[in-house]
Copies of this chain bind each other. A is one copy, B any other.
Amino acid sequence: MQRLNCIISYDGSAFSGYQIQPNQRTVQAEIENVLKKMHKGLDVKVFASGRTDASVHAVGQSIHFDTPLNIPINKWKIALNSLLPEEISVIQVQRVSSDFHARFNVKTKEYRYKVSLSKDRDVFMRHYHFHYPYQLDYIAIKEAIKYLVGTHDFTSFCSAKTEVEDKIRTIYEIEFSENDDLLTFRFIGNGFLYNMVRIMVGTLLEVGQGYRKPEEIVTILEQQDRTKAGKTAPGNGLYLWKVHYDN
C-alpha cells in the first residue's frame, strides 16, 4: 500500500461542488469513479485539502488516497488523465508518507478571486470571473485589506450554515492587482471558513464603491455577526489556487 498526493485542477462550472452528494455531479465522485475502475471495483476513498462549492474553481486542489497498485509513479498522471472527464486535470502526482493527510497537514492555502470591471460582458469569461462593471476606489480597498490581515475571529465573514465552532483564523497576506480591467485578489491564510473569501471580497467591493468606510472592517469583525458584513460574492470568480504543507 502506498499513499499518493495529487495536485488537481477543475472547472467548477461543470460540478455541484467538490464533495460527493447524492444524484449530483461532483469532483470527488468523478475521481473516486476513476479510481474504482483502476482498482477493478475496489472502493478508494479520496481526501481533499477541503471542499469547494458549486461553480468554484481549482487550479491547485490537493488530494490523497491509498493504493495497492504497482503503477510506476511517473505513469499515474497519464493514467488518471486518460480516464478523467475533460473538466478535471491532474497536474502532478507524488508518493507521500503514510502519515501525510491532504486536509490535516495543510499549513497555508491560497485562494484567488477574479473580478472583471469591464463595461461589456465577456461571454467567454462568464464562468471564470465576477462581472462587476463599476469604478472602484483602490485606496479604500487597500486600507480595508489591512484590517482583515492578521489573526481574528472571522464569524462575521462566515456563512451561518457552517458547523465549525472555532472561527479564529490567520490571514497572512491579501494582495490585489489590476490588469486590463481584471482585478485579482489573492488571499493566503492558515485556513478559511465557509464562504469566507467570497464574503471578504463582497465586503471589499462595497468599500471600493464607497458604500462602506475601510474602518468599518474593525467593527464588523468585533460584532461577530454575519449580517454586518457585505454580500457573498459569486462562486464563479473564486479559485483554490495552491495548498502548502510542511516539508
**Interfacial residues, chain A to chain B (CB-CB below 8 A):** 9-11, 57, 81, 86-89, 91, 120-124, 126, 128
Query: A11-B126, A86-B123, A87-B123 are known contacts; what are 9 more A-B pairs with Cβ within 8 Å?
Result: A9-B122, A11-B123, A11-B124, A57-B124, A81-B121, A87-B126, A89-B120, A91-B120, A124-B128
Chain B nearest CB, measured from A208 CB (Å): 23
Q: Out of B9, B88, B123, which one reaches A89, CB within 8 Å?
A: B123
Name the B residues within 8 Å of A86 (CB-CB).
Answer: 121, 123, 126
A131 to B57, CA, bound (A): 20
Name the B residues within 8 Å of A11 (CB-CB).
Answer: 123-124, 126
Query: Nearest 10 CB-CB pairs, A to B?
Result: A11-B123, A89-B121, A89-B123, A86-B126, A9-B123, A87-B123, A11-B124, A10-B123, A124-B128, A89-B120
A87 to B124, CA, bound (A): 8
Name the B residues within 8 Å of A88 (CB-CB).
Answer: 123
Chain B nearest CB, measured from A20 CB (Å): 19
Name the B residues within 8 Å of A10 (CB-CB).
Answer: 123
Chain B nearest CB, measured from A30 CB (Å): 12
Task: Show 6 A/B contacts (Cβ-Cβ < 8 Å), sorted by A.
Answer: A11-B126, A87-B126, A89-B121, A89-B122, A89-B123, A91-B120
